[in-house]
Amino acid sequence: MKWSLSLGRIAGIRILMHWTFLILIAWIVFQEVSRGSDTTTVLITVGFVLSLFLCVILHELGHSLTARRYGIPTKAITLLPIGGLASLQRMPEKPKQELLIAVAGPAVNVVIALVLWLILPPLRETPNEAFFTRITPQNFLYLLMMVNVILVAFNAIPAFPMDGGRVLRALLAFKLGRVRATQIAANLGQFLAIFFAFIGFFYNPFLILIGAFVFFGAYSENIMVQHLDFLRGHKVREGMMTTFLTLAPTDTIRHALDKLLMGSDQDFLVEQDGQVLGTLTRMQLIQAVKEEKMQAVVTEIMTTEFCRFEAKDKLAKAYTELQRSKAPLCPVFDNGRLVGVINSENINEFIMIKSALTH
List the domain boundaries for the chain.
Answer: 1-156, 158-231, 236-357
pTM for the model: 0.78
The predicted structure's pLDDT at residue 146: 92
The predicted structure's pLDDT at residue 248: 92
The predicted structure's pLDDT at residue 166: 92
The predicted structure's pLDDT at residue 359: 63
Residue 20 C-alpha from the chain's centroid: 15
Q: Which of 79, 73, 78 is nearest to 24 (CA)?
A: 79
Q: How far is it, in rounded angstroms, from Cα 282 to Cα 247?
A: 13
For residue 10, which amino acid is it? I
Per-residue pLDDT of the chain (359 residues; tens, 9 = 90+): 567 788 889 888 999 888 887 888 888 888 878 887 788 888 888 898 889 889 999 999 999 999 999 999 998 998 887 778 888 888 888 899 999 999 999 999 999 999 999 998 887 777 776 677 778 888 889 889 999 999 999 889 888 778 999 999 999 999 999 899 999 999 999 999 999 899 988 888 888 888 888 899 899 889 989 998 889 889 999 999 998 888 999 999 998 888 888 878 888 999 988 889 999 988 988 988 888 888 888 889 888 888 899 999 999 989 988 887 788 899 999 998 999 999 988 899 999 988 887 76
Q: How far is it, in rounded angstroms, from Cα 74 to Cα 68?
A: 8
Q: How far is it, in rounded angstroms, from Cα 311 to Cα 317?
A: 12
What stretch of H or E contains 333? Answer: strand 330-334
Cis peptide bond upstream of 161, omega within 30: yes
Contacts of 71 (CB under 8 A, 6+ apart): none
Please, are residues 275 and 331 in contact by the beta-carbon 8 Å criterion? no
First-residue to last-residue Cα distance in the chain: 38
The predicted structure's pLDDT at residue 1: 54
Q: How far is it, in rounded angstroms, from Cα 249 to Cα 298?
A: 6
What does DSSP say about strands 13-18 and 275-280: parallel, antiparallel, or unpaired? unpaired
The predicted structure's pLDDT at residue 41: 84
Please, are residues 218 and 190 in contact by the beta-carbon 8 Å criterion? yes
For residue 167, which amino acid is it? V
- CATH architecture, domain defined by 236-357: Roll (3.10)
The predicted structure's pLDDT at residue 159: 83
Torsion of CA 108, 111, 115, 116, to 10 degrees: 60
